[in-house]
A = this chain, B = another copy of it.
Amino acid sequence: SVHSSWLHGSAAPPLPQAKFFPPVEGVMLPTGSFKDRVAFITGGGTGLGRAMTTTLSQLGAQCVIASRKLDVLQKTAEEISSQTGNKVHVVQLDVRDPEAVSRCVDQVESLTGLPDVIINNAAGNFVCPSERLSPNAWKSITDIVLNGTAFVTLELGKRLIQSQRGASFLAITTIYAESGSGFVVPSASAKAGVEALYKSLASEWGRYGHRFNIIQPGPIRTKGAFSRLDPTGEFEKAMIGRIPTGRLGTPAEISNLAAYMSSDYATWMSGAVIRFDGGEYVSMAGEFNELRRVTPDQWNIIGMMTRSTKGS
A residues with a Cβ closer than 8 A to B are 1-3, 6-7, 15-17, 19-24, 26, 28-30, 98, 126-133, 135, 138-139, 142, 146-147, 150-151, 154, 157-158, 161, 166, 174-186, 188-211, 218, 227-229, 231-232, 235, 238-239, 243-247, 249-250, 253, 256-257, 260, 264-295, 298-299, 301-303, 305-306, 309-310, 312
CB–CB B284/A287 < 8 A = yes
Cβ contacts A to B, 10 pairs, < 8 Å: A28-B28, A28-B30, A30-B30, A131-B208, A181-B200, A188-B197, A207-B244, A211-B245, A257-B265, A284-B284
Q: Write out the residue numbers on chain B whose beta carbons fall within 8 Å of the beta carbon of A196.
A: 176-178, 180, 185, 188-189, 191-193
Q: Write out the residue numbers on chain B whose beta carbons fall within 8 Å of the beta carbon of A239.
A: 287
User: Number of copies of this chain in the oligomer?
Assistant: 4
Q: Which of B174, B189, B260, B292 contacts A260 (CB 8 A)?
A: B260
Q: Write out the residue numbers on chain B whose beta carbons fall within 8 Å of the beta carbon of A29.
A: 28
Give CA–CA (A111, B254) in the complex, Å.
Answer: 36
CB–CB A202/B283 < 8 A = yes
A97 to chain B, nearest CB (A): 9
Give CA–CA (A193, B73) in the complex, Å.
Answer: 30
Nearest-neighbor residue (CB-CB) of A151 within chain B:
B135
Q: Which of B195, B281, B293 contacts A192 (CB 8 A)?
A: B195
CB–CB B207/A292 < 8 A = yes
